[in-house]
Structure formats: structure tokens, C-alpha cells
């Protein structure tokens, strides 16, 4: 689970990073609003942990901008402000949760897990559906309008990784970790090669062009 933490207090930021990594999260940390906004736009995160009083761009403006651009990544705001109006403003702008400093780290972790569960519910079916594409993750089969597509194990894994984040971009490095494992020794170019294999087979089965979309500067996504 990948988190973006935007916090300008170096002591708190370091404590959060160490604690969240110990809890199993992959943490990107930044201390200013401009970089935080850029990262939130460019990369796929499970949750954004966002301070309000930040240099450059404040947390309210970051939240307003992201929601205005259609970025739906869950946001939990951290702030030294404890007024009800401040909390209401953050929630009205699209934040999903709110914690006032000082806060319990245990409570923060519980809130993060709750946000992730709500945004990524456990599917009731092992099937991933994207238009005419049906990927059965239990039977390990792929079909286009009931026409079976024969994929290798690695090709299936690439498509499954994209399907489990349907509509969201995955970077080449994320795909490498998910498909080849965190200890892989291959380069990210192999991702492009296998995406090419998958696209070719889907095209031969009559699937619409662009269902596996290139996201410029990031990687790939499976279009809904």
C-alpha cells in the first residue's frame, strides 16, 4: 500500500515515515505543497496524508485542486487547527478524514486501513471486467466477448495487475514489483515488451484499441 505524506515538520514527518514503513506501507514523503501536489497528480497512491499549513500551497488548496481535476485518491488531513469550521472546510473540499495534532499513531493507522478498505472493496467476484474484456483470476482465463485469449502466465499477471487497479495508472516500477517481484533484477523495459505482447493478443481477439492505455510519463492503465 503506497502512501504520500505531505508534512513540513521534519520531526513529525520522519516519525510518520518510520512508523508507517514499519506497518508495511510504502511511503513517499515531501515537505512542501508544490511538490505534494505534483506527486499526487503524477503517481498512484492508496491514500494521501496531507498537512494543512504547508509552504507554497496549503493543504486546502491541494485538496481543492485534486478534486477539481478528478483525482479521487483518499485524503486524510492532519492539522494543528482544532476548530470545527476548519474540519468542515477540509471535508467540504473533498477530504475523506481529518485528524488534529497531536494524534495517536495507532488511530492514524486504523483510519488509513479504513480508507483503503472503502476505496478498494474486496470484490464479490474473482472476475475483472473492462468493457468486453473478462479476466477470471480464479480460473486464470481471459476472454473478449466470450472468445478466449491465450495468455502466458506472465502476460496474464501483467493484465491482472492492471485490472486490480482498473482505471488507475501503474508505473513501470510498480508493475515490475507486482509481476516480477520486489527482488527482480530485470529492467523496466521488459514491462513495455510484455504490454506489447498483451496488446497484440487482445487486438487479435477483436478487443478495442487503447484498452491498455499508455499514461505518458507514468506507465500504463487498463481502461474501464
**HSE value, Cβ hemisphere, 13 Å, CA-based, for 120:** 16
Pick from 24, 2, 8, 25: nearest CA to 78: 8
Positions of CATH 3.40.50.2300 in the chain: 2-119
Cell numbers found for residue 190: 521488459
Q: Which CATH class for the 127-222 domain?
A: mainly alpha
CB 33 within 8 A of CB 53: no
Q: What is the pLDDT along the chain (224 residues), one digit of tens a residue?
A: 799 999 999 999 999 999 999 888 999 999 999 999 999 988 888 999 999 999 999 999 999 999 998 888 999 998 876 655 566 676 778 888 988 888 899 999 999 988 887 776 554 467 899 989 999 988 889 999 888 999 998 899 999 999 988 888 988 888 888 888 755 566 778 999 999 999 999 998 888 778 999 998 889 999 98
Positions of CATH 1.10.10.10 in the chain: 127-222
Q: Parallel, antiparallel, or unpaired for β 47-51 and 2-6?
A: parallel
Which strands form 212-215's sheet, in the order they lie side by side? 170-171, 219-222, 212-215
The residue assigned the cell 495508472 is: 169
Q: How far is CA 151 from the centre of its chain?
A: 26
* Cα 149 from Cα 134, distance rounded (Å): 10
Overall fold of domain 2-119: Rossmann fold (3.40.50)
- Note every long-range contact of 12-18, with CB atoms under 8 Å and residues 24 or more positions apart, other chains counting: 12/101, 15/105, 16/49, 16/105, 16/108
Q: Burial, 189: exposed, middle or buried (Cβ in 10 Å; 0-12, 13-18, 19+)?
A: exposed
The verdict on pTM exceeding 0.75 is no
* Cα 79 from Cα 153, distance rounded (Å): 47
Amino acid at each position: 500500500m503506497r502512501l504520500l505524506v505531505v508534512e513540513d515538520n521534519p520531526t513529525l514527518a520522519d516519525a510518520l515515515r518510520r512508523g508507517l514503513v514499519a506497518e508495511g506501507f510504502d511511503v513517499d514523503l515531501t515537505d512542501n505543497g508544490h511538490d505534494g501536489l505534483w506527486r499526487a497528480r503524477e503517481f498512484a497512491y492508496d491514500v494521501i496524508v496531507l498537512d494543512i499549513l504547508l509552504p507554497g500551497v496549503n493543504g486546502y488548496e491541494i485538496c481543492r485542486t485534486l478534486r477539481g481535476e478528478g483525482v479521487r485518491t483518499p485524503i486524510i488531513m492532519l492539522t494543528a487547527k482544532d476548530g470545527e469550521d476548519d474540519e468542515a472546510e477540509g471535508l467540504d473540499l473533498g477530504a475523506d478524514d481529518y485528524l488534529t495534532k497531536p494524534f495517536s499513531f495507532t488511530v492514524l493507522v486504523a483510519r488509513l486501513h479504513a480508507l483503503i478498505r472503502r476505496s478498494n472493496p474486496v470484490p464479490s467476484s474473482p472476475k475483472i471486467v473492462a468493457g468486453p474484456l473478462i479476466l477470471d483470476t480464479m480460473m486464470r482465463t481471459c476472454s473478449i466477448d466470450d472468445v478466449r485469449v491465450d495468455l502466458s502466465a506472465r502476460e496474464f499477471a501483467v493484465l491482472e495487475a492492471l485490472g486490480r487497479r482498473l482505471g488507475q495508472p501503474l508505473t513501470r516500477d510498480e508493475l515490475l514489483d507486482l509481476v516480477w517481484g520486489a527482488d527482480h533484477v530485470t529492467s523496466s523495459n521488459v514491462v513495455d515488451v510484455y504490454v506489447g505482447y498483451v496488446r497484440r493478443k487482445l487486438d487479435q481477439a477483436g478487443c478495442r484499441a487503447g484498452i491498455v492505455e499508455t499514461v505518458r510519463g507514468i506507465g500504463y492503465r487498463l481502461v474501464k
